[in-house]
Structure 1
Amino acid sequence: MISKSMSMKLKLTPELSEFIGMHIGDGTLYKTNRALVWEMRGDLKEQSFYDNHVIPLLKILFNDDFKGKIRTGGKRGVYGVQTTNKSLIQTIISFGINPGRKSNISIPEDILNSNFLIQTRFLRGYFDTDGCVRFDKPNKHKIAYYPKIEFASSSKKLRDDLKLLLRRVGLESYTWDVKNKLEFKLCLAGKIKTLFWIKNICSKNPKHLDKFLKWLKLQIN
């Protein structure tokens, strides 16, 4: 843990790598007239994810009393955390992530070139905030059982970095571009890759965990 006043770069730990993944997935860093502000927010249904995982992780890393809050946004409002904590903000910037739009964001080299645990924890943080898992019905099967883990980004560099990082942990993926939307997508498909993901990366977000658990029950039955 560090004090609020420190601005030096933190040692890259699995917990910090996961936080960087969360920020790249759904965090926002922006300037106001008074200060730099960081926030991350999601659907109201994700409140338990924020209260039980995101906020405790922030407290461990940055030694501050972070609080979740319902805010305006979307159709029904959103839930998340907002702060001007200098240690948190300086840590993000120290990894080469600047305030503003994410159209050119990338995965920090420190994470791309790190060990398996650091890499997989980044993947978990990114997946929990900006990934999805769904199930298709191949060959007109009655049950949607074929798993796909997918990501979409406005940054081609981020998508390409993600493909490289996945390869380094042992997962091959395929990519495609949605040109009329300036959207860059990536997919991991199939049982073997999904089982690898669950074993080595998994999720802390109940919306993903519930889907994985239901799918695993299908494999048993």
Structure 2
Amino acid sequence: MRSSVYELIGAIYGDGHIHSTENRVTLVGSLEDYYYYTFYLKPLIEKLFPGINVYIRKRNDRNSYYLSFESKDAFQKLQSFHLWRGAKNNLVLPILPNSLSLKLFLRGLFDTDGSLKFSKQSKNINYYPRIQYAFKESDFSRDLGTFLSQAGFTFCRWYDKRDKEYYYQISGDSFLHTWIKTVGLSNPVHYSKYLYWKRFGYFIPRSSLAFRMNALHLKTEDLF
């Protein structure tokens, strides 16, 4: 199977759900994730599992997009990566055979459930980058730092007792540039933040994808 399957595994670990009885996988994203789903994730799944039908539906009542696919063959292959049916409370780290699979997994995980933030530090503009993950308590969320260390990143980790979540944060310009070079970003929601920051030297919190693309004089499709 293609190495890109590890990127899909990461995406499912992030915002995915495996049906408790049927051979269906569903990912749920924001309205801005439409481009990532349509121009990147859907073609990736279709290459991994030829002939499969991948559906993207908008849920107006939840301001979100759903991507789903159903296949017994695909489901059996995905189960070999420690993906369980139903709730993801019992997630564990998947077995990744090499550094490429590790980086692809981290990319898929970040594209679906990570966040790229910029803090002010001692300035009046949001310029200091922070790559962040946050996951509900599980063996996987407790041990995720192992993968980040293997990929060469120094990070901070803390546990939020109220939300019962583990947080991981990688900070600084150097690590962000390294992440782009070695792990990469496939979701334009995140990548446009990086491009905006790289061009202007700061970031505008809560800015929309459309605003960033307009400021960069790019079309979202240009990022694929």
- Once residues 72 and 142 of structure 1 are traced to their aligned partners in structure 2, the CA distance between those partners, rounded to angstroms, is 37
| Structure 2: gaps spanning 5 or more residues | 203-224
Off by >6 Å, runs of 4+ in structure 1: none
What's the secondary structure of 1:67's corresponding residue?
A: strand
Superposition deviation, residue 106 in structure 1: 1.9
CA contact (8 A) 2:82 2:91 kept: no
Correspondence for 1:5 = none
Tell me the alpha carbon deviations over residues 162-220 of structure 1, each in whole angstroms, 9 at most, x when there is no partner. 21111111111110000111111110011111110011112111110111001212459
Question: Is 1:82 matched with 2:68?
Answer: yes
Task: Compute the TM-score of the two structures, normalised by the length of structure 2.
Answer: 0.84
Correspondence for 2:55 = 67
Question: Is 1:213 matched with 2:167?
Answer: no
Question: Is 1:153 matched with 2:135?
Answer: yes
Correspondence for 1:116 = 99
Determine what percentage of the aligned residue pairs are the same residue: 30
Amino acid paired to 2:85: P
CA contact (8 A) 1:67 1:81 kept: yes
What's the secondary structure of 1:198's corresponding residue?
A: helix
Q: Using a 3 Å threshold, how does the CA distance of structure 1 residues 87 and 159 change in structure 2: closer, same or farther?
A: same
What's the secondary structure of 1:158's corresponding residue?
A: helix
What's the secondary structure of 1:188's corresponding residue?
A: strand
Amino acid paired to 2:168: L
Tell me the alpha carbon deviations over residues 18-67 of structure 1, each in whole angstroms, 9 at most, x when there is no partner. 000000001101224xx332111211221111000010001001111323
- Once residues 31 and 167 of structure 1 are traced to their aligned partners in structure 2, the CA distance between those partners, rounded to angstroms, is 33
Task: Compute the TM-score of the two structures, normalised by the length of structure 1.
Answer: 0.85
Listed as ranges, the matches of 1:191-210 within 5 Å are 191-210=173-192
- Please, what is the CA RMSD of the aligned residues? 1.7
What's the secondary structure of 1:181's corresponding residue?
A: coil
- Give the number of equivalent residue pairs: 201
- Once residues 90 and 166 of structure 2 are traced to their aligned partners in structure 1, the CA distance between those partners, rounded to angstroms, is 12
